[in-house]
Structure formats: C-alpha cells, structure tokens
Amino acid sequence: MKKLQLSSVHKSLGAEMTQFAGWEMPVKYTRIVEEHLAVRNAVGLFDISHMGEISIVGEGALEFLQKVTSKDVSKLGIGMAHYTMVPNEQGGVKDDVVVYHLEEQDYMVVTNAVNATKIYEWFKQHTPSDIQIDDITNDTVLFALQGPRAQAVLQKLTDFELEDLNRFSNSFIKIAGVKALASRSGYTGEDGFELYVFKQLEDSSQGERIWNELLRVGGEEEIKPCGLGARNSLRLEAGLPLYGHELTEEITPLEARLGFTVKFGKGEFIGRKALQEQKEEGVNSWRIGLKMEERGIPREGYKLIHDGKEIGEITSGGFSPVLKTGIAMGYSSVDLDEGNGIMVRIRGEEKRARIVNWPFHKGK
C-alpha cells in the first residue's frame, strides 16, 4: 500500500486511516459531518496526493490530447484547465480527468487515483514520437483548500492576488516561500484551490511546510483538516460524479449527462464515432438525482422503482448534512422529469423520493 508523504503528519493530527485505491488515506480527523460543515461554512484542507499526475510535453502534445480526450484542448490558453473525459473506442469512460495547460507545449493531466496507472499506460500506447509522457504522481504533493474562506486563508501566505484567479485558472505562485501551482478548482461544490507542489522527492518538507502553514494561518478562519469521508459527502451534495460509480468504461458521458465534455466539432478522437451514433440514436439509460421524502438513507446498489417496476439503481447515495435528508444519484431507464416521484427499495421496503436536479446544494 502506498503512503502519503505527509502520512505521519496526518496520524499526529489524530486521523483515522483507511485504504483507498491502493493508498493509505485519512478518512476523518474528527467527525465526517463536522468536517463537511467546516467546508460548507468556513474552510477545510484535504491532502489528495493520491490523485495521479501525468506530464505531457512536446511539439505534438496538443494534437495528442485532442486524440485521447473528448473536449477541445485547443481552446485552453496557458494558465487554464478544463474537465474532460478519456473515452474508450466504444465511447465509455476510461477516466474523467482535468487537463492543465501550463506552458507552451507543456500540459498536465490529473487522473483519479484508481485509474492513474491505467491512463498512463493507455497514453503510452498512443504516444507519438514528438512528445514526452511522464508519470509524476510520486513527485507531487496535492492539497485541496476548499470553502467560502479558502481565499482569505491562502492570501495570508502569498503575494499573488488570488482575486485575479478565475474558476479553472491556474498560476505558479509562492506559498509560504514555496513554489506551487495554484488552481481555482475543487471537488466540493465550494470555492477553493488545488495546490500542487512538484518534485517532492527532492525536498519532502516543502509540502509539509505548506500544510502546516495553512492550518496555522487558517485558525482565525476556523479551518479544519478533512478526510475522504467529507470529500465524498461534499461531492455528493454538489452532484459530482465519482469514477467507478457514476462513470465506468461501460457508461458514456452522454448517459452520465456530461455531454458538455464532448466536442464533436473539434475533429476525430478516440470514441467519437460511437458517441456520435449514440447522440443520434439517443441513450437508453441516464443519470438522475433524487431526494428522499421518507426517512431512509439511499445507498449504492439500492433499486429504483417507478410505477411498480424496477427502472434502475443507485450509484452513489448518503445523508446530506446540509439538507438533513437522504440524497442520491443513479441511472434510470425511464425518462423522468424533475419533480416526478420515485421509490427507493431500502432494506426490502419502498420509500418515497423525488427526482431533483443537481447540485443538491449550491455552494457559496
């Protein structure tokens, strides 16, 4: 099992550790609900160094990324990033990733931890001779500073004017004297930043310094270290998909209602033909959101019932600390409008729910 470079720091803070995607990760430091609400109301700090980072450099980098991802990378100026898909030949999702344009002919792709090796090997299979592809995951520490007070905390440690950094924009800045890539992005539905500290094998203390300094200066803003438990409940409230649940190699972006990540007009890319055919013919199943109207927590695998028939199942579900009720996402074979009633089979009993659109909770 891989360990985070700050593993001992997390344990010293009382973190409960768990195994996730081959990594030992903090699942919580105190209580998941407490950490969840800290992000919604103030600010939380996550160590997400388990995420995969792949460097793609060279004259053919843009053409390569146009081929292996579904969105139009030519629209990305330097200092910009976007969310996109890596499709397979059938249009299913090998991974949902973020592509960063760092410098001229210099890009970085951030993958889910569970897919880091798979995507790196997939990229290597399609690598032309005029680009260099490197897996830099083990050389990178990545933190997520999330919540309405995230900017106030980070601004105390940098001279860079963070107000100038728009959503999905990024810039190399100094944080507590350490060079890092700051991206205005995250996975919580709140404002915030993802902070990349590279080449950590040379000096592992750099990442630890930023972590400690953020917690120190964030005290006035009621900052809390947060684990995977809160990260999952936050992304669920925000209606954000999780690979292996809402996205798989058998589920396409169109079925997941993520069609904005597919740009047919940019030209050929892997999976384009299959996705074009599906767009013309229509999908047979698609992602829905629901909110419980009866007491009960919807969980992954629970069946969805409409007019007495099973029409699908839940892929992610749980209790919303903000809404104080059960919420879920899943796939339905029936086209249901927002506001339609639906039943969830929970431990043998059918409980009332209602179709809602995400985000279930809109961040500040």
Output the known binding site for substrate. Answer: 194
Cis peptide before 87 (omega within 30 of 0): no
* Bridge partners (DSSP) listed for residue 145: 45, 193
Question: What letter does residue 303 receive in the DSSP assignment?
Answer: E
Q: Across-strand partners of 109? A: 54, 99
Residue 218: helix, strand or coil by DSSP?
A: helix
Q: Is 29 exposed, middle or buried (0-12, 13-18, 19+ CB in 10 A)?
A: buried
Residues within the annotated binding site? 194
Q: In whole angstroms, what is the distance from residue 29 CA to residue 26 CA?
A: 7
Please, are residues 151 and 166 in contact by the beta-carbon 8 Å criterion?
Answer: no
Specify the 3-state DSSP secondary structure of 264: helix
By three-state DSSP, how is residue 242 classified?
coil
Task: Give the amino acid at 19.
Answer: Q
Alpha-carbon distance 220 to 312, whole Å? 46
* Look-up of token digits 């985000």: 359
- Please check whether residue 136 is in contact with residue 124, taking contact to mean a CB–CB distance below 8 angstroms: no
The one-character DSSP state at 53 is E
User: Which amino acid belongs to residue 201?
Assistant: L
In angstroms, the Cα distances linking 239 to 37, 183, 329 are: 17, 21, 8
> Can you read off the two tokens belonging to residue 210?
């930023």
d(CA 22, CA 114): 8
Contact 39, 45 (CB under 8 A): no
Nearest Cα to 328, choosing from 315, 309, 310? 315
